[in-house]
Structure 1
Amino acid sequence: MTDVIRRKIDRARPTQAEGAPGADRGWRLALARAARDAMGLDLEFRSLVVARQSLAEVLEQAPDLALIALLDGPGGGLGVIMLAPVVTASFIEKQTLGRLGSQVPPPRKASRIDAAMVAGVIDRALMGLDETLAEEADFSWAGGFRYASYLEDARPLGLLLEEDAYRVLSAEISLGGEGRLGRVLLVLPANGRGEVPVVPETEAKSDAPPFTAALSAQVMQADSRLDAVVGRLTLSLRQVMSLEVGETLVLQTAALNDISLETIDGQRIAGARLGQHRGMRAVKLNEAAAARTGSSSARLAPSAEPVPPELRAAG
């Protein structure tokens, strides 16, 4: 009696599954990308309906001569994917011949070899579905499924699947732009047993007042310049004005393993040594904490050369 009541409740629910937009979009992207990446086959969705159905309704939807694959899911849950004959034939043809013929192959019953050849595409599509739903609530019922085994027909499903509600993603697809149309049914337990993804808290949920948060965001984006100083040399204005192209300036205390990382006003922040990273100049810090010293300690003593009379007269 309980099963009868449950079925009536399931039929009374809306055909659109709870949270369906996430699974709808995710399955479209995942199956199309799997066909493209695994075989170079163009696959387009003509329609996709997400419905909540009982096991009896699921068994009635199985396409004739469909390839039926059982799927393992989280918590021991079982799902099913059904491929219409034209879909299976197109997958096999593309993998074996590298192209689709001008004529659609006649329908035939799928074999175990056919299932083995399309298992990789099915798993790739299911993994793609996991990725697209990684941060969505639909992952709890649509994520974590993988290919398990092949069934010769739909009759064993009545014994293998639990007498429960299922979410059915029924898609009408076209293949290879050749006018080949077929159905793909993805059947998963409605009451998901997977974990609900934990979405990290965003900065918008900060306890800081809006103005403070906005101001902080602007300040944190401001540039902060640091100079890597190899050595310093003090010259008089006369010496600077007399410099010529090709002249060499000797840095008496320069050392590649003793670089001073300083602010624009000469304040030392840390010590470092010169090196390379991916072909670019780089410095590696030698000190774990900033050494807050005055700018004068990082500079060399001024030259002992007397100041020219004309400069002294100018003040």
Structure 2
Amino acid sequence: MDSAGSVLRRKTGGARPRADTLGEAAAVRALRLALGRAGQAVPGLGLEVAGLTEARLSLAELLDLPPDRALLAMIEGPGEALGLIALSSGVLATLIEAQTTGRVGQGDPAARKPTRTDAAMSAGLVDRMLTGFGDELDATADRVWAGGFRYASFLDDPRPLELLLEDTAYRVFRADLALAAGARRGEVLLALPAAGRGKAAATALPSAMAAAPVAPPPTLAEVALAAPAQLTAVLHRLVIPLSAVLALKPGDVVPVPAAALDQIVIEGLDGRRLAEGKLGQNRGHRAVRLAAAPGAAAAAAPLARPPPGPAAEASPPAPRAAVG
């Protein structure tokens, strides 16, 4: 009798998943849906989730997982909790191609180091995925650790991760993706602190699987206008022999005409004159008051260099340096 009861208990126990297994399955299912919907918002990306796993790992174990040359981004959630998302080089290259050209070329692109522009163009996909993931689990107990995360910052070097991330346990999801109708493969890694800091749901209910409205992806013009632009305010420019430049030392005085204070030139990275202004102050800081921008012809032409002085005319052509 005892033997029969033991067999019956084993059979019934084996047929009923444990509560924590059900929780893991719900989170994996929610992330699969969130990834798929986030990918649908990018025409030409053709994202399909081929495989998805979840594990609880320590910080030391997590730091060994990001693929080589992956785009690494910090994500921030409730209570200033920090997590990590990594897009493999295959996912990143395909995403950039799809957003810039609307289609994906043949073959796998060469892996390269991600840039801040890549990160800016990937932030939309990351936020849509995180928002969808949190929404799927919003009515469950998992919302405490899964909800409220958003893209925070780009990391061009993985070494600071050990200092930025809290030394605690993490829920780590690894998604194997098929892209461009299966022509390319890639991986997305998502790590969230296991001990969440979000608010618990009023009543833990099964995850709501209703399709959420998908925000349209940013246009190429919107991405370009959001990219950082560097401007240089040029106080004065003079031409001197290279030998004089090499002889400069601390304490030397480089003459700057007083009139230069009213003739500040604003240049782009390519040296084009974009505007003019006057040097002044604002709330105790040095500032430039912009004047009327130059005409279209002047704006389209590079900044003219001063003609060579008598010393340059008397000597044979030699390398010169502009000190601005």
Aligned to 2:109: 105
**Within 1, Cα distance between the matches of 2:46 and 2:21?**
28
Partner SS state of residue 25, structure 2: helix
Aligned to 2:292: none
Whether 2:52 is the aligned partner of 1:41: answer: no
The one of 68, 71, 87 equivalent to 1:67 is 71
The one of 56, 60, 67 equivalent to 1:52 is 56
TM-superposed CA distance for 1:146, in Å, is 0.1
Partner SS state of residue 42, structure 1: coil
Change (3 A) 1:200 1:188: closer
TM-score (structure 2 length as normaliser):
0.55
Q: How many residues align?
A: 187
| Per-residue Cα deviation, 1:32-83 (whole angstroms, up to 9, x for no partner) | 1111124452211111110000000000011000000000111110001000
**Within 2, Cα distance between the matches of 1:179 and 1:93?**
14
- 1:54 is aligned with what amino acid? S
The one of 24, 30, 37 equivalent to 1:26 is 30
The one of 83, 88, 92 equivalent to 1:88 is 92
Answer whether contact 2:43 2:103 (CA < 8 A) is retained: no
- Quick one: percent identity of the two aligned structures? 51
**Within 2, Cα distance between the matches of 1:17 and 1:177?**
32
Aligned to 1:171: 175
TM-score (structure 1 length as normaliser):
0.57
Partner SS state of residue 64, structure 2: helix
Aligned to 2:248: none
- 2:189 is aligned with what amino acid? L
Aligned to 1:183: 187
| Per-residue Cα deviation, 1:158-194 (whole angstroms, up to 9, x for no partner) | 0001111111001111112143111110000011111
Aligned to 2:140: 136
- 1:141 is aligned with what amino acid? W
Aligned to 1:284: none
After TM superposition, list the pairs within 5 Å mapping 1:185-204 onto structure 2.
185-199=189-203
Gaps of 5+ in 2: 1-19, 206-324
The one of 119, 126, 146 equivalent to 2:123 is 119
Structure index of larger Rg: 1
Change (3 A) 1:179 1:162: same
- 1:183 is aligned with what amino acid? E
